[in-house]
Amino acid sequence: MNCRACNSKNLDFYITSKSQLIELGNFNFYICKDCKSLNLEASFSIEELKMLYSKDYPLFDMRRTWGKYYKFVEFEMQNVVKRRINYIKKFTSLENKFILDLGCGDGSFLIGLKNYSSNIFGFDIVKLRKDIEIFDNLDSIPYKFDIITAYHYLEHEENPRIIVDKVYELLKTGGIFIIETPKFPSFGFSIFKDKWAGLHTPRHFVVFSKKGLFTVLQRFKILKYSNFSSYSKYILYGLTLFKPNEENFIRWTIFMFLLYPIYTFSDDILTIVVKK
């Protein structure tokens, strides 16, 4: 296995982690001695991947997952969309742009973008919306884009370097690519180790270091690197401590406030904006 970030063969076993949000046993992660990214030792067929992201995946259906509290979570997800849109506006206009969201999930971000452009498209192996054109094969996309986003997506790809090369092809000259992803090493990992939700075992094939992500994106011009997170910075801690369900909502909320002095300064997320 080569490093999924920098393609180095210089890997060492680092940690074993039990599967999260699904019962699939234990998986090993290897650290790249060159770029320090973590790499999952696993490979899945497309059918197995779809099973990992089935309609039962708790992060897709807020109403089913959070029960009577889902409105609170839905409100926060609307804020996530607003944060993403406001962040993109710092680098480019959204008006009438061709925009592609990789790993679009339930499509809530795409719905928010429709206020700015009719040229909004998604990419995902699971199609959860019929009112937006969602592709499941990057090679079949016939458009060129001004903006491509990857919010907590690139780490889910077994071969992220191939995905990034395809993004380069799909972007117009001067187009921007925004990535938000868990970061290694990080404060959260130093506390929770193999239970840290940033591993999202076995759905995350790679947890990028700063150097690893910069290496993947070396064809692009770096515009901004930060620890900005469109999600509450608590979410990785919450998913580490509790299963997302109605019974745990009160505990989730209490701990969110109790841990605020800690997670507000955490560096568990890595966000980067690059330009072709």
Show Cβ contacts of residue 222 under 8 Å, excluding neighbours closer than 6 positions: 214, 272, 273, 274
d(CA 171, CA 14): 36
Residue 209 in tokens: 């270091």
Phi, psi of 35 (to 5 degrees): -105, -10
Show Cβ contacts of residue 71 under 8 Å, excluding neighbours closer than 6 positions: none
pLDDT band at residue 55 using 50, 70 and 90 as cut-offs: low
Q: Any long-range contacts for 50-56 (C-beta under 8 Å, 24+ apart)? A: 50/125, 50/126, 52/22, 52/202, 52/203, 53/125, 53/126, 53/203, 54/126, 55/126, 55/128
User: Residue range 112-138: average pLDDT?
Assistant: 90
d(CA 30, CA 276): 31
User: Which among 218, 259, 223 is positioned nearest to 240, based on CA atoms?
Assistant: 259
Amino acid at the residue 150: A
Q: Is residue 7 over pLDDT 80?
A: yes
Quick one: pLDDT at residue 218? 95
H-assigned helices in the chain: 46-52, 62-66, 70-89, 108-113, 160-170, 187-192, 210-216, 235-241, 249-258, 260-263
Residue pair 181/270 in contact (Cβ under 8 Å)? The answer is: yes
d(CA 218, CA 116): 30
pLDDT in tens, 135-179: 999 999 999 999 999 999 999 999 999 999 999 999 999 999 999
Q: Is residue 221 over pLDDT 70?
A: yes
| pTM for the whole structure | 0.94
Residue pair 150/178 in contact (Cβ under 8 Å)? The answer is: yes
User: Residue range 166-193: average pLDDT?
Assistant: 97
pLDDT band at residue 57 using 50, 70 and 90 as cut-offs: confident
- Which residues in 89-123 are b (16+ Cβ under 10 Å) and which e? eeebebeebbbbbbbbbbbbbbebbeebbebbbbb
Give the rounded percent of residues in the chain with a pLDDT score beyond 90: 84
How many angstroms from the chain centroid is the CA of residue 217? 16
Instruction: Tell whether the torsion through CA atoms of 272, 83, 108 and 121 is positive or negative.
Output: negative
User: Residue range 216-226: average pLDDT?
Assistant: 96
pLDDT in tens, 231-275: 999 999 999 999 999 999 999 999 999 999 988 889 999 999 999
Average per-residue pLDDT in the chain? 94
pLDDT in tens, 13-49: 999 999 998 889 999 999 999 999 999 999 988 888 8
Quick one: pLDDT at residue 54? 72
Q: Which of 56-60, 212-216, 221-225, 263-267 has the lowest mean pLDDT?
A: 56-60
Quick one: pLDDT at residue 260? 92
d(CA 60, CA 132): 17
Secondary structure of residue 203 in the 3-state scheme: coil
Which CATH code for domain 11-275? Answer: 3.40.50.150
d(CA 36, CA 59): 28
Quick one: pLDDT at residue 161? 97
